[in-house]
Chains A and B, each alone.
Chain A
Amino acid sequence: DSGVTQTPKHLITATGQRVTLRCSPRSGDLSVYWYQQSLDQGLQFLIQYYNGEERAKGNILERFSAQQFPDLHSELNLSSLELGDSALYFCASSGGGRGGYTFGSGTRLTVV
């Protein structure tokens, strides 16, 4: 257990629908990062939050949005889903400074 909790682990939904992915960071970590990993691809950075504020944005579609709540958990909202949105979505957290991120085990989204 990495300390970063992602729910749900699997999600199957239809095109056009909206889903919410949830992440609880490791205790004490203020930063949360969201990544998308399509089949056999690398990690595509979507967005970062730090202590409730958006800190950095990557290749995040306009149909996607995220927020970080006062208790530091974060949600990634994906709307008007398309088949191409099927992917693994990872959340990672960090405490800032030097050192790496701690990743959750991901949510596998399948859009049918």
Chain B
Amino acid sequence: GQQLNQSPQSMFIQEGEDVSMNCTSSSIFNTWLWYKQEPGEGPVLLIALYKAGELTSNGRLTAQFGITRKDSFLNISASIPSDVGIYFCAGQGEFGNMLTFGGGTRLMVKP
């Protein structure tokens, strides 16, 4: 079946630093999504990407849909303590609307 490899698994950074995480797949996706999960809560959609090569920003977050359609990355600039959480990538294939989730990147920010 489809698998998403998300890296890094965890990051411990200083406030103000930029963060980069990525997902790679063995299969092509038509949509890439990035979610954030805060402690004790459900994942919340941050950014959705619908076209290969697309670069989309949401405040300090920027995500790109890879040209090969097999990868995506998420950058967070000038991190702040409230960026703490688990970030999940998800890919949506051609048939139906099932999402395949990456294993998550746990981000910790030191003030």
Contacts and interface: CB of A to CB of B under 8 A. Distances in A.
In the complex, which range does the number of interface residues on chain A fall in?
Answer: 20 to 34
Interface residues of B, number: 24
Interface in A61-112: 90, 92, 94, 96-106, 108
A98 B42 contact: no
Contact of A99 (B31, B40, B96, B98): B31
B105 to A, nearest CB: 10
A103 B101 contact: no
Interface of A (DSSP majority class): loop
A61 to B, nearest CB: 18
Contact of B42 (A42, A90, A96): A90
Interface in A1-34: 2, 4, 31
Contacts, number: 56
Contact of A98 (B43, B44, B97, B106): B97
B33 to A, nearest CB: 5
A99 B88 contact: no
15 contacts: A4-B42, A43-B101, A56-B98, A90-B43, A92-B42, A96-B97, A97-B97, A100-B31, A100-B33, A100-B35, A100-B48, A102-B45, A103-B42, A103-B44, A106-B42
Interface of A: 2, 4, 31, 40, 42-43, 45, 48, 55-56, 90, 92, 94, 96-106, 108
Given A2-B44, A98-B92, A105-B42, 14 more contacts: A4-B42, A42-B102, A42-B103, A45-B101, A56-B98, A96-B97, A98-B97, A99-B48, A100-B35, A100-B92, A100-B99, A101-B99, A103-B44, A105-B40
Interface of B: 30-31, 33, 35, 40-45, 48, 50, 88, 90, 92, 96-99, 101-104, 106
